[in-house]
Each structure stands twice: as structure tokens, then as C-alpha cells.
Copies of this chain bind each other. A is one copy, B any other.
Amino acid sequence: MAKINRGEILDFSEWYSDILEKAGIYDVRYPIKGCGVYLPYGFKIRRYAFELIRKLLDETGHDETLFPMLIPEDLLAKEAEHIKGFEDEVYWVTHGGKTPLDVKLALRPTSETPIYYMMRLWVKVHTDLPIKVYQIVNTFRYETKHTRPLIRLREIMTFKEAHTAHSTKEEAEKQVEEAISIYKKFFDVLGIPHLVSKRPEWDKFPGAEYTMAFDTIFPDGRVMQIATVHNLGQNFSKTFEIIFETPTGDKDFAYQTCYGISDRVIASIIAIHGDEKGLILPPVVAPLQIVIVPLIFKGKKEIVMEKSKEIYERLKDKYRVYIDDRDIRPGKKFYDWEIKGVPLRIEVGPKDIESGKITIFRRDTMEKFQVEDEQLEDEIEKTLNNIMENIKNKAYRKFEEYITMLEDVDLEKIRKILSEKRGVVLIPYKKEIYNEDLEEKVDATILGETNYKGKKYIAIAKTY
């Protein structure tokens, strides 16, 4: 694995490929570019992460649904701006068996058009609103750029997309706020630092009034978009005729929003918290939260195994815990579980048993310490909380270090920072410089307008 220096991963790209393989996250050897396989360990991280977002959405009145993956060409073509944004990226099904299809079918790049086609059928009067639905599905983009596992895929295996319709503009605005607050909570629980900005006009979602985006910063200093929230206004509802009767008996078009999160969440969990020894997983998404390693010495096997099982029984109802009783050296076991980022390791040896103590190892700090046997449950709970607190703080510190606030617009300086230190450069918001020309001048991407520590900025970065 690539070396780490001063807390930064020197060759992040190499490290990232390496960890996906060694930790059993994702296998890139599938014979289609931009498609890969979620391995059991990686799938579990995904499962726990998506349980979190599901819970947050269910609690706020979103209903989970499932829409077809195929979209007839004429449906996709309905919203002109939208299709224009996707036309180079759409995969087309043209044949069923040996039969050419009458109408070409697109693999969904995202589901505005099919969902809004159905919403038209569901909405008659204002009491039918709001509608707040979501689905977790695969989506497809025929990427011409360099693909990267879980970051830039041709099959996005996990796309959580929410779609809402409301009876007033104000309510749609509020929905944008709710979506932002849901995503903030989600990333906070995972300890993923983020900057929220309003994307510039030329970079908004095709068909949206405006786009709010969440960005984080990867260990190589490049910025990764990890979530977006769009206010669609009445653009789609006019095209798809989502019309309702208002309380006064008038007709109006629904006001809509949509927002999404992808596999990049999983990439971020890996990238943001990992170190040179492997993954460091937030306990909430760790497939195993605790691994018990029996230290077996001659003639002491029975007592060690017995104690290991006793500890397992004490913890199993509350935590995802496992006894690693493979017949190999403990050092090899430690190494394996450190790569996989298991937050806590309990070592059970004959000496500890005699003295009534238990040895705990923290993956985040690589510290080992002893606790009294009867204190175990309390100490574990406390330590897991501390681990989460610590990795989150560490991530936020790194993130802040990567943010450079400038007091004025100095193109040379911006370019220099972005090519040497990288991260995000914030310059004071000025309407007259807020245009695509600036992107060219600094050879970087304008993330958008953002509020940072009480001031309004233009955020600029090199992005993925």
C-alpha cells in the first residue's frame, strides 16, 4: 500500500485501488469498463450506509417506491433541456431478442421523466400533494471520461433519488431545505465533512431552477461532489402536465424538487477516514464493529476460547461482533482486521484472564489498553463513541486545512494554491467575476456560491 506522510496519503489513487481489493470492497475485474462487483464486505458497508439514509427519509415522510429502469425514448425526450444534458450519456436498448424495438428504450440516467409521467396520474387536487417518494436503484451513464470505482461509474450501482411535488413554490423551497438538512445529518453521522454550495447557472442540473451541491475533499486535495439537491420549479410539471386544483378552484402546475446520493458515499467513507494501514470505518457502518482474537498458548486453548465465547455472548446482542478462531498467527489476524477497518479488537490471552482484565485495541489510534472485566460493556460503548468522535474531528480538521479563504481575487494566487496545496479556494463573492471565464482563467472548477463562517464566497477547486 502507498505510504502516508503527515497524515496525507501520498499516492491516493494507488492507495484507493489497493484498499478496494485488499479489504474486499469492490472488484474491478468485471469485463466492462466502469462496471464492477460489490463484494460481501463492501456490500455490508453499503447496506448500513443506506439503512441510515432510508431511516432519515422515512422519518421525514418520504415513501420508498420502485420505478422501471427502462424509459421510452419519447418520454425521455419530452423535457428538452433535461435530455440535452444527458443525450451523450444514455445507453440505448434497441433490440428484444432478435426483434428491433419500435421505440428505443433508455437505461435510466436518473428518473425525473418516468416518475413525473406517473405523478401526473396521481395528482388531481391540492390535497393529493405533497408527494415525497424515493427509490434506491442502479442508473447508467455512458461516461466518456476516465472511470473510477465507486466514483465515476458507467453503472452507478446505488443511486438514492428522491422526488417531490408540492402545491406552492414556498413549500418546494422548504423541501430543498429539508433535503439539505437530511443530507447534512447523514454525512455528519458518517463523519464526512462537506461544503454546501449553490452551483453556478452553467453547472446546474439539466431542467432545474437551481442546484445545491455537497462537496467533500479527498486526501489528494481534489474535490468530490457527494450529493445534489435540485429545485425544479415548474419546469417538469409543465412538460408532464402535473396539474392540480388549488384550494380556490384554480389550476396550477406542481412545484417540484429532487435530490440524490450515489455510491460516492461509500467511496467517501473509505477515502476520508482510511490511513496507510487500511480502512478506518465509522462504527455505524462497520460490517464488524468488534473482532475478538483469542491468543492461544500451549495448554491454555480451552480457557482462552471459553473466555472469548463468554465475551462474544455478552456483546452479540448490541454489536456486530465476531470471534476470529482461524488457525493462524495472531499477528496475521491483527493485520487482516486492521486493513478491513474493524473499529475495535479484543485480545483474549491467559494472562489477562488470570488478572481479570481485558485488552482492547482501537483501530483509529492504534492504541492498546486494558479494562476491568466487569467494566467491558461500558468501556466498549464509550470507546466506540470516542472513535467516532475522533475520526470525525480528524476528518473535519483535514478538511478545514484544505480550505483557503482569500480576501481578494488574485488569479495567480488562486492557480498556485489549487495546483500546489489543492483543496478549495474561497474568494469573496462578486457578481461581476462570477462566470465561466473565471474557470478558464484559474484552470479549475467553480463549485458555486457558498456561505462559510458567516461570509458569502465563490468556491473554486480542482474536482474529480
* Chain A residues in the interface with B (C-beta under 8 A): 27, 29-32, 35-40, 43-44, 46-47, 63-70, 72, 75, 87-99, 105, 107, 114, 117-118, 121, 133, 137-138, 142, 144, 155, 157-158
Q: A30 and B95: CB pair below 8 A?
A: no
Contacts of A138 in B (CB 8 A): 69, 137-138
Report whether A118 and B66 are in contact in the complex, using a CB–CB cutoff of 8 Å: no
A89 to B96, CA, bound (A): 6
List the B side residues contacting A66 at CB < 8 Å. 37-38, 43, 46, 157-158
Residues of B within 8 A of A88 (CB): 97-98
Known contacts A29-B121, A47-B64, A68-B157; 6 additional CB pairs below 8 A are A30-B68, A32-B72, A69-B138, A89-B97, A90-B96, A91-B105
Contact B92 A142 (CB under 8 A): no
Cβ–Cβ < 8 Å partners of A63 in chain B: 40, 43
- B87→A64 contact, CB < 8 A: no
Given A70-B155, A87-B97, A155-B69; A37-B118 close (CB under 8 Å):
yes
Residues from chain B with a CB closer than 8 A to the CB of A105 are 32, 91
Task: Enumerate chain B residues within 8 angstroms of A36, measured Cβ to Cβ.
Answer: 68
Residues on B with beta carbons closer than 8 Å to the beta carbon of A107? 93, 107
Q: A69, A88, A97 — which one has the most chain B CB atoms within 10 A of its CB?
A: A97
Considering the complex, give the chain B residue whose CB is closest to the CB of A99.
Answer: B142
Q: Identify which of A32, A75, A105, A144 gathers the most chain B CB atoms within 10 Å of its CB.
A: A32
Partner of A65, one of B43, B70, B92: B43
Residues of B within 8 A of A40 (CB): 63-65, 133
- Smallest CB–CB gap between A140 and chain B, Å? 8
Give the docked Cα–Cα distance between A157 and B66 (Å): 8
Q: Is A117's CB under 8 angstroms from B43's CB?
A: no
- Contacts known (A90-B97, A95-B91, A97-B90); A114 close to B30, Cβ less than 8 A: yes
- Establish whether residues B91 and A65, one from each chain, have CB atoms under 8 Å apart when the complex forms: no
Which residues of the partner chain B approach A47 to less than 8 Å between Cβ atoms?
64
* Choice from B72, B91, B142 contacting A31 with Cβ under 8 Å: B72
Contacts of A32 in B (CB 8 A): 68, 70, 72, 105
Residue of B nearest to A36 (CB): B68
The distance in angstroms between the C-alpha atoms of A463 and B89, with both chains bound, is 42
Question: Which residues of the other chain, B, contact A46 by a CB distance below 8 angstroms?
Answer: 66
Chain B residue at minimal CB-CB distance from A66: B38
Are A91 and B96 touching (Cβ within 8 A)?
yes
B97 touches A27 (CB 8 A): no
The interface residues of chain B lying within 8 Å CB-to-CB of A133 are 40
Give CA–CA (A35, B106) in the complex, Å: 14
CA distance in complex: A235, B455 (Å)? 66
Nearest to A104 among chain B residues (CB) is B95
Q: Which residues of B contact A97 (CB under 8 A)?
A: 87-90, 142, 144
Q: Specify which chain B residues have a CB less than 8 angstroms from the CB of A118 in the assembled complex.
A: 27, 29-30, 37
Residue among A27, A67, A98 with most chain B CB within 10 A: A67
A158 to B90, CA, bound (A): 23
Q: Which 7 pairs between the two chains have the least Cβ-Cβ distance? A: A96-B142, A40-B63, A38-B66, A35-B68, A88-B97, A92-B95, A94-B94
From B68, B90, B142, contact of A37 by CB (8 A): B68
CA distance A37 to B44 in the complex (A): 27
Bound form: Cα–Cα A112–B264 in Å: 28
B37–A65 touching, CB < 8 Å = yes
* Chain B neighbourhood of A121, CB < 8 A: 27, 29
The complex places the Cα of A303 from the Cα of B136 at a distance, in Å, of: 42
Q: How far is the CA of A40 from the CA of B114 in the complex (A)?
A: 16
B39, B43, B67, B93: which contacts A92 (Cβ < 8 A)?
B93
User: Which listed residue (B37, B68, B142, B157) contacts A155, Cβ 8 A?
Assistant: B68
Q: In the complex the two chains form, is A93's CB within 8 Å of B93's CB?
A: yes
Task: State the Cβ distance, A67 to closest chain B Cβ, in Å.
Answer: 5
16 residue pairs A–B, Cβ–Cβ below 8 Å:
A27-B121, A29-B118, A32-B68, A32-B70, A37-B67, A44-B64, A69-B155, A87-B98, A88-B98, A89-B96, A90-B96, A92-B94, A93-B93, A94-B95, A97-B142, A97-B144
Task: Determine the residue in chain B with the shortest Cβ distance to A68.
Answer: B35
Shortest distance from the beta carbon of A231 to any chain B beta carbon, whole Å:
23
Contacts of A93 in B (CB 8 A): 91-94, 107
Rounded to whole Å, the gap between the CB of A51 and the closest CB of chain B is 11
Taken together as a complex, chains A and B put the C-alpha atoms of A37 and B66 apart, in Å, by 6
